[in-house]
Amino acid sequence: MSKRSNRVVVVTGASAGVGRAVAREFGRHGASVGLIARDKDRLETARREIEDLGGRALALPTDVADADQVERAARQVEEQWGPMDVWINNAMTTIFAPVSEIRPDEFKRATEVTYLGCVYGTMAALKRMLPRDRGAIVQVGSALAYRSIPLQAPYCGAKHAIVGFTDSLRCELIHNRSKVHLTVVHLPAMNTPQFSWCRTRLPRHPQPVPPIFEPEVAARAIYYAAGQRRREIFVGAPTVTAIYGQDIAPAFADRYLGARGYASQQTSQPVAPDRPDNLFHPVPGDYAARGIFTQQAKSFSLQSWLDLHRSPLAAAAAALLSAGIFLWRRHA
C-alpha cells in the first residue's frame, strides 16, 4: 500500500480502542475513513483526529448488531466517496464473569455485537466488492480465537465463530475465483478502554492478560494486512505461543489457565459498584485508543515487526548468502 493511499476504508468499533488506532493509521496515510460505532461524540472526535492527520473521515453512528444499520452505513460511505476498498470488522463487547453468572440476554448481546457484527459487516462489504471483483475485508481476531480463557466465554466463543465463518467464506471466494481478499489479524492482550467499560462481575478490576501491547501495534499490522494477500497474521509473540501451544498441549493449557487465568485477568483494585458498562448502551466519556495500562504496555513487538517485514528481510538474507557463497568460491 502506498504512503498516500487515497483508499476508501470502513472501520467498525472506530470510536475507541484498536478501532480508533486503526482509523488513525489509515488517516495518516491519506485514506477516507468511514467510522462506525455507537457513541456520536467520540466518533466526531475521531473524525477530527483523522482530518488533522491528513485523511478524510465520516462519522456513522451505528450499532453493528443491527444488520440494517450496518447496510445503511455502507451505503452512506459509497454515496460520500465512491467504491470502498477496505472493510475492517473490529467492533466488540464482552462481559467478564463465569458462565454460570452470565444471563442469556447478556450472552446474546455480546455474541450479536462481536460475532454477528462481523458477519453483517462482511455481508455489507461483499455486496459491493463482489460485483467489482476487488476489495479487502480484514477481520480483527484474537489469540483467544484459538485458545480460550476463563471468564471470557462470550468473547472467546464469538472470536472462534469469526474464524469458522471466515474460513468458510474464504473457500467460497476461492471456488468463485474472486479477487476479493479476506484476511484475519489475530491480536494479543491490548491496552484499550474495554477493561474500563466492559460489564463485569469480577471482584477486582479487569485487566488484559500480560504481556500487554498498545493498540498502535495492532493498527500497524491491520493496515499492512489490508494491502497484502496474507491468509492470517499473528501479532506479538504471545499470540504465536497461544495459538501453537493450543495445537501442541491443549490439556496442559486448560489446567494452567484453570489455575492462573482468574488472577491474571484482575488487578488488585476493587470494581466500583456504580461502574457503567457498554454492553447494551455506549458509555459516555473521553475514551480514545489507549486504556489505563500504558505503564505496563509495550509499544513495539519484535515478532510483529519481523513478520511484517519478512519479504525484504528474506531478500536481504538471500543476498547476503549469495555474497557469502561468491566470496567463499572465489577464495577457495
265 φ, ψ (degrees, to nearest 5): -105, 15
- Go through 21-49 and write b for each residue having 16 or more CB atoms within 10 A of its CB, e for each that does not: bbbbbbbbbbbbbbbbbbbeebbebbbeb
Close Cβ partners of 54 (under 8 Å, ≥ 6 residues apart): 27, 28, 30
CA–CA gap between residue 238 and residue 39 (Å, rounded)? 32
CA pair distance 71, 68, nearest whole angstrom? 5
Q: How many CB atoms lie within 10 A of CB 203?
A: 9
Longest dimension (CA), the chain: 77
Beta bridge partners of 96: 200
Q: Mapping DSSP to helix (H, G, I), strand (E, B) and coil, where does residue 77 land? A: helix
Residues labelled catalytic: 155
On whether the CB atoms of residues 39 and 14 are closer than 8 A, the answer is: no
DSSP annotation of 285 reads S
